[in-house]
Each structure stands twice: as C-alpha cells, then as structure tokens.
Structure 1
Amino acid sequence: MTTTPSRTARWLYGSLGFLIVLVSWQVAAQFLFAEGATIPRPGQVFAQLLRDGWELYGPNIITTGREAAKGWLLGNAVAMLLALVVVQSATIERFAMRIAVAAYFLPVVVLAPILAILFTGDWPMVVIAAMTVFFPTLVLLLVGLKTAEASSLEVVRCCGGRRLTELRKVRLPASVPSLFTALRLAAPGAVLGAVIGEYGGAEKGLGVLMINAQQSLEVERTWGVAIVLAGLVGVAYGATVLTQRLVAPWSMESRHV
C-alpha cells in the first residue's frame, strides 16, 4: 500500500526544492564562476527582469504562448486520431509506428530554417511544436488504449459489439489517465518546440529575445528570459493538470507523472 503526500506536503517539498536551487545558484555565481561573470547572481537577474517588465516580455510571451498552444493542439490532435486508427490493427500499428519513430528522430533544429522557407507567419514554429508533442502522445495513448481489460472487451464481443463499440465503451475510458499524462508532458514540449522554431528565423518571441540578448552579451537578460520560459512551461503544465482535475478527477488517482 502506498501513501500519497498531502497537498501541503507537496507544496512544502516544492518550496524547499526552489530554495535549494536559489541558494545553489547564489553560491555558484558568487564563488565558482565569479571571475568569468557567466552566471549572474539571482538578485541581478530579478532586478533586470523588473527593469524590462511587461513592456518587453509581454508581447514575446504572448507570441510564444500562442505558437505553443497551436502546436500543442495540432500535434495532440494528429496523435490521437492516429492512435485510434492504429489500435484497430497490429499490421497498421507496425507500419505507422515506424514512420512515427523516424519523424520523432528528425533533428528539429535543422528543420527550423527549412520550415521558415516553406511556411509563412507562425506556421514554422507551430509545426515544430506539433512535431515535439506528437510522438509522446501517440505512444502514451496507445499504451492507454491497450490497458483495457480483456474481460470487458470479451463482454462487448459476446453482446455483438464491433470494434468501434469496444473503442467507445472500453478502450477510451481506460485510456483517460494515460491521455492526460501525455497532455501534461506535451505542454512543456510544445513550448520548447516553439522556441526552437523561433531560433530558425522568427521576428518575435522569447526565443528571438534570448538570441538577441546573447548576441548583445546581456547576461542578466539572457538568464531572465530563461526564467520567464520556465514560468511559461509551469503555467502550461499547471493548466493541463487543472483541466484534468476538472474534467476527469477520478483519473488523478492513476497518474504517474
């Protein structure tokens, strides 16, 4: 029998972890990397964040967030549709998974400039964000669809139910915990994919802001952008967890991530 930490305990653990990271950062900046000035102190970074404010970060957060959201929706939608198709046939699954694995191992950093030539607007970033989330969602949803109990599937078959009935009545409900696990993992992946896409030649976004800060040797601002990105990832992940809590709270008991 396992016990789940209370919400207060989880909050305390998270706060303690944040404090440890902050202290380690201060020690590293003050004693280990003081000469090179490559790691600014936390106070310097947060002071720069306050100076830059929403005027600098706001439009870039909105741009990257919009790209990530579109990519998250597109990548997850395609992965879900493909999972629902391939779970019906082992032959189709083997063929589709080979293609999916090949697509997953494509170097997205190399693809970013190519997509910038092929597409206009924010589509290069959206496509890369979608590619980033597609494979994990496909795999986890397939795993969830296959966790359906054999006895339940047999009952449906004995009652004359077809594959579509099996899918709707048994496999889909069984896959909900795995689906939300995939969606939670996809949220940070979509943000990362959008930023990588911005490296390929976007006009605006947190990725562009970070590149400009690096090229201008603005160390504090570079670290500030990284913190903002981490915050955006946390918001995306938290929004997915909140959605699961509202839509399917029973599945929270089965979650592993």
Structure 2
Amino acid sequence: MNYKLTQAELAQFHELGYLGPFTLCSPEDMAAIRSRIETEVLTSDGPNPKSRLQCRHLDQRFLYNLCAHPAILDRAESLFGPDLVLWATYFFNKEPGGSEIPWHQDFNYWPLEPVVNLSAWLAIDPVTIENSCVNLIPGSHKKIIKHLPSREGMAFSEEADPAQVDASKAIPMELKPGEFFLFNERTLHQSNKNMSQKRRMGMTMRITVPFVKMTHDVGPLFPGHANIQLRGTDHLGFNRLVAPPETNP
C-alpha cells in the first residue's frame, strides 16, 4: 500500500502541527506485539543501562520493524523527503497513578542542531481520556514557548510557561492499539495524571534528516547512542550510524 500524504493532509499538518490518527496494525496484531514488549523488552536491559524504555529499536528487531513500517515512513517521506533517520524511541509507560506530563514543546529537551523532528506516537494499549491520552493544542507549533522549571508533581523537570499556554484549545488524541499520530518538534502537548485503573503505554519514534547534527552521548541520549538510516542516504556523515539489529528469534 501507498501511505503518502495527500496535499490536504500536508496542508493540515503544516497548519495544525499534527496529523492522525492512522493505523499501523490491528488491535489483535498489537496484542501479540504488546505481549513481546512485556516479556522481552520491559524485563531486559537495552543499550542505555539506565533505562529499559529508551531506544530499544537498537537491540530488538521487531521494534525496529514497527519504526520502519511503510504506514509511518511513507508519510514521513511526504513531509521530509527521501532521506530519513531514526534517532530515538521511547516507551511512555504510564501506570495507574502515573504523574502528569506538563505542557511542553519537544525541541526544548533535545541535543539537535537544528531541531527538526517528526514524532510518531504509537498506541500499545488502548489510549483514552480516562487513562491519560496525549492532549495537543492545534497550531501551537507556530510559536516557540519559553520553558520554566516544572511545578511540583510533574513528570518532567521543565514545562512550557503556563502563562503562554491556552489549554482550553486542547484536543485529546484517543487511540486504539495499533493506531498512531504524527506531530512536530514544537507542537504543545501533555498528558494528565492517570486517574484510571488501566495502564497507558505508547511508543514514540523520532525521525529526522541527515543535515541535523546531534550530540549522541549526552542526556537525554546516552554513551554509545547511534542513529539508523531508515530510507535514502546520509551524504553528510554528521552523526554516528549503525545497522538495524539482527532478526529476533
């Protein structure tokens, strides 16, 4: 199948700063993937010894295959062109009672220059308002918001200046398992404290282009971090590249 974005979808992404939801796989297929995540990923160490949740596409082929799915890459290519780089993934695993993630723009936290990024947020569990789905503010990517030290109880140490955030414009991004949405590095988003009795797990995939230079070995990355070329060619050689992991058993 061809998943390339239409002109109307491209216009919507540039106007709103996000797009979706789209379907990568069925809830039934995601149930099998979720079982592997629970038994093979969350129980084992990955490339970052301090976090089992970060960059597991570097050591788990079935997770890399999710990132390389045409449903994501065809759309990414529509926005960024043919040369695509995968530089990070992360499991946002919010258990019941999990803390609020404050309003923020992702560019604030990343060691990229310039900060050019497309994020895909893939639902592993059912994602609802009740169990703390991501909320987004349409059009908020058009303005850079100053970030301040977070208020007490937040999951992040910095947040967008509350005085510059109009949360009344927020829309909830509810997802079935196997659905995802796309957003850019400046789109304001957050998620509330999980007040339900159900876990909410999602996997974020961070895609950029070869002209973006990153500092691999500093937070939120880690010593030994590297990128994977998803499509096309890296003609510049700014960043460390590795091959995708070998096929899982």
Same fold, judged at TM 0.5 (above): no
TM-score (normalised: structure 1): 0.24
- Give the number of the structure whose residues are more often strand, by fraction: 2
- Give the number of the structure whose residues are more often helix, by fraction: 1
TM-score (normalised: structure 2): 0.25
User: Larger relative CO (CA 8 A, sep 6+): 1 or 2?
Assistant: 2
Higher Rg of the two aligned structures? 1
